[in-house]
């Protein structure tokens, strides 16, 4: 019977059906970071358990690392404690650690793919919501909680319900100045933050076929923001070209065997989906969020929508968003003054994200507005080194950006990069919840990296196509 990639990969990893009705699923790759793992390791120690598959378990540090200095001990005692706890655990349990000391660290969802750990047809888990990123390779990748981290460390398996599958098809070409970030914000705007509950999202259509792996990662990364448990793109030559030669990618005969497996797990052309939605890429504008969920967004030339244009059950959240963000219905989003600009995160902290901005800044005609604090934070040390090798650090600093060390930085602000008071941040990250960026009153406007750059140099939300003269 014809099947989707989700069904094929899920079925191949079932160890047994549990009395609860869930399936016990073998995990092919477990990624760890410092924030969600300490309690899980503590539970393992309490029960005198070992890590079942240390060779499939990898760790890095991302949320707590300061991006203005690499000095240890960290000034924040709790951050230093978390770091030391992870250092001890990876040593005690024999886990490979991509550490700052070895210049190998970065955001877990950037490091996994760039090392070639993330591969098609795998089951992947990590104690972080944005694990869906890895679905860009045709993997089933799930964010998990602390007790599940313990379970996976101890057994290499996870108890899971089977999801429904929604195919989200986007065909046609994006207009110039419109990016993968706009695509996923547009999709979430259409389907809502709860639209994906109970679903895996399969992204298909010729737009995603043409997308690079970085663009696919940006889209899959935010599946969780649309309520989906995971999101994926079927693997293809783009996937294989990205993986070939990377450190943990299969080599020689193993590569050929892997290729055969990867081809076999693609969704069948006549696979049945629980739901299918289709969009035309040409309809997608540059998108900016105005509210407190990633679905509360408008086109850059749009206005804050009236509460009446939402369904009755959404109106309370919309009114809460007006009050928190200090927006009035009918007010244009363009022209909103910003205080901070942030380009980075596991959504948009990869080399190609910065490349798109560098192309716009390298003529030296644009400078960050004096009242704006603008941060460029590479997603990993590898990305940072690649940027420096290309001279992009200088392009950014010449334009007035702060060029930082790798980390999550202002995405979640579990480190010194935080908003202050009521500051407004134009951010290439993935969440605009109240207080997300470190100040309980701070405000976040999500957008693409090129739109953040446009906001940085104008001091307000602006259409990057007009600011940088991107031909229509």
What tokens does 419 get?
């908003």
Alpha-carbon distance of 306 to 330, in angstroms, equals: 7
Tokens of 464: 């990057």
| Cα gap 305→331, rounded to integer Å | 8
Q: Which stretch binds ligand SF4 (CB under 6 A): 114-122, 150-158, 186-194, 407-415?
A: 407-415
Residue in 297, 429, 437, 448 binding ligand SF4, rule: CB under 6 A: 429
Contact with ligand SF4 (CB under 6 A) among 62, 214, 353, 356: 62
Taking the least distance from each CB to ligand SF4, the nearer of 23 and 65 is 65
- Does 411 contact ligand SF4 by CB under 6 A? yes
Cβ–Cβ under 8 Å, residues 4 and 199:
no
Task: Work out how close the CB of 273 gets to ligand SF4 at its nearest, in angstroms, rounded to a whole number.
Answer: 28
Mask of contacts with ligand SF4, 70-109, x by CB under 6 A?
-------------------------------------x-x
- Helices 213-221, 180-191: crossing angle, 10 deg rounding: 30
Nearer to ligand SF4, 157 or 429 (CB): 429
For ligand SF4, the closer of residues 273 and 401 by Cβ is: 401
Q: Site for ligand SF4 (CB under 6 A): which residue of 284, 346, 454, 470?
A: 346
**Gap between the Cα atoms of 358 and 353, Å rounded:** 9
How many Å apart are CA 6 and CA 162, to the nearest integer? 9
Distances (CA, A) of 432 to 64, 95, 191, 227, 402: 19, 34, 17, 15, 22
Q: How far is the CB of 120 from ligand SF4 (least distance, A)?
A: 22
Residue whose CB is less far from ligand SF4, 163 or 217: 217
Extended beta strands in 151-286, E state:
157-160, 164-171, 199-204, 230-233, 275-280
Count of residues interacting with ligand SF4 (CB under 6 A) = 13
Element (H, E) at 12: helix 5-12
Q: According to the binding rule CB under 6 A, does residue 412 interact with ligand SF4?
A: yes
Least distance from C-beta 63 to ligand SF4, angstroms? Answer: 5
151 sits near ligand SF4 (criterion: CB under 6 A): no
Going from the C-alpha of 351 to that of each of 27, 271, 317, 354, the distances in angstroms are 29, 35, 36, 5
If binding is defined by CB under 6 A, does position 128 make contact with ligand SF4? yes
CA distances from 298 to 435, 445, 447 (A): 21, 11, 10
CB of 429 to ligand SF4, least distance (A): 6
Of residues 57 and 458, the one with the C-beta less far from ligand SF4: 57
Query: Cβ 141 to ligand SF4, closest distance in Å?
Result: 13
d(CA 472, CA 470): 6
Residue among 5 and 31 whose Cβ is closer to ligand SF4: 31
Q: Which of 360, 368, 439, 430 is CA-nearest to residue 399?
A: 368
| Near ligand SF4 by CB under 6 A: residue from 170, 224, 304, 408 | 408
13 binds ligand SF4 (CB under 6 A): no
Q: Is 116 left (phi over 0), alpha (psi -120 to 50) or beta?
A: left
Check binding of 345 to ligand SF4 (CB under 6 A). yes
Task: Single out the residue of 8, 56, 63, 167 in contact with ligand SF4 (rule: CB under 6 A).
Answer: 63
Stretch of residues binding ligand SF4 (CB under 6 A), selected from 229-237, 404-412, 432-440, 456-464: 404-412
Which residues make up the interface to ligand SF4 (CB under 6 A)? 62-63, 107, 109, 128, 130, 345-346, 408, 411-412, 429-430
């Amino acid at each position: 019977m014809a099947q989707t990639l989700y069904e094929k990969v899920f079925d191949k990893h079932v160890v047994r059906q549990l009395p609860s009705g869930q399936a016990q699923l073998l995990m092919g790759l477990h990624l760890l970071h410092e924030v969600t793992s300490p309690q899980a390791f503590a539970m393992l120690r309490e029960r005198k358990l070992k890590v079942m598959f240390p060779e499939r378990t990898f760790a890095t540090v991302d949320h707590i690392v300061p991006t203005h200095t690499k000095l240890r001990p960290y000034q924040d005692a709790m951050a230093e404690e978390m770091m030391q706890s992870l250092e001890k655990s990876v040593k005690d349990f024999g886990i490979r650690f991509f550490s700052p000391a070895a210049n190998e660290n970065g955001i877990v969802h950037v490091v996994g793919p760039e090392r070639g750990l993330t591969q098609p047809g795998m089951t992947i888990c990590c104690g972080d919501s944005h694990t869906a990123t890895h679905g860009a390779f045709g993997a089933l990748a799930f964010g998990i909680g602390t007790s599940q981290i313990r379970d996976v460390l101890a057994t290499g398996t996870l108890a899971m319900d089977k999801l429904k599958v929604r195919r989200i098809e986007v065909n046609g070409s994006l207009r110039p100045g419109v990016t993968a970030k706009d695509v996923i914000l547009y999709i979430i705007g259409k389907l809502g933050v709860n639209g994906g509950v109970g679903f895996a999202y399969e992204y298909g259509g010729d737009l995603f076929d043409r997308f690079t792996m970085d663009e696919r990662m940006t889209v899959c990364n935010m599946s969780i923001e649309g309520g989906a448990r995971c999101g994926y793109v079927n693997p293809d030559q783009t996937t294989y070209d990205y993986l070939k030669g990377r450190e943990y990618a299969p080599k020689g005969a193993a590569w050929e065997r892997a290729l055969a497996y990867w081809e076999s797990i693609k969704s069948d052309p006549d696979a049945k989906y629980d739901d299918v939605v289709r969009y035309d890429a040409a309809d997608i504008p540059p998108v900016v969020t105005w509210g407190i969920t990633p679905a509360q967004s408008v086109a850059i030339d749009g206005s804050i929508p009236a509460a009446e244009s939402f369904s009755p059950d959404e109106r309370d959240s919309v009114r809460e968003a007006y009050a928190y963000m200090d927006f009035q219905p009918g007010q244009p989003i363009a022209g909103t003054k910003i205080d901070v600009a942030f380009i980075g995160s596991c959504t948009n902290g990869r080399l190609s994200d910065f490349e798109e901005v560098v192309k716009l800044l390298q003529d030296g005609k644009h400078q960050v507005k004096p009242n704006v604090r603008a941060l460029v934070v590479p997603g990993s040390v590898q990305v940072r080194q690649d940027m420096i090798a290309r001279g992009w650090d200088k392009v950014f600093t010449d334009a007035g950006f702060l060029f930082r060390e790798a980390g999550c930085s202002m995405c979640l602000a579990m480190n010194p990069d935080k908003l202050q008071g009521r500051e407004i941040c134009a951010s290439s990250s993935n969440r605009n919840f109240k207080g997300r960026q470190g100040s309980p009153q701070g405000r976040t406007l999500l957008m693409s990296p090129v739109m953040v750059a446009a906001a940085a140099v104008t001091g307000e939300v602006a259409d990057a196509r007009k600011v940088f003269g991107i031909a229509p």
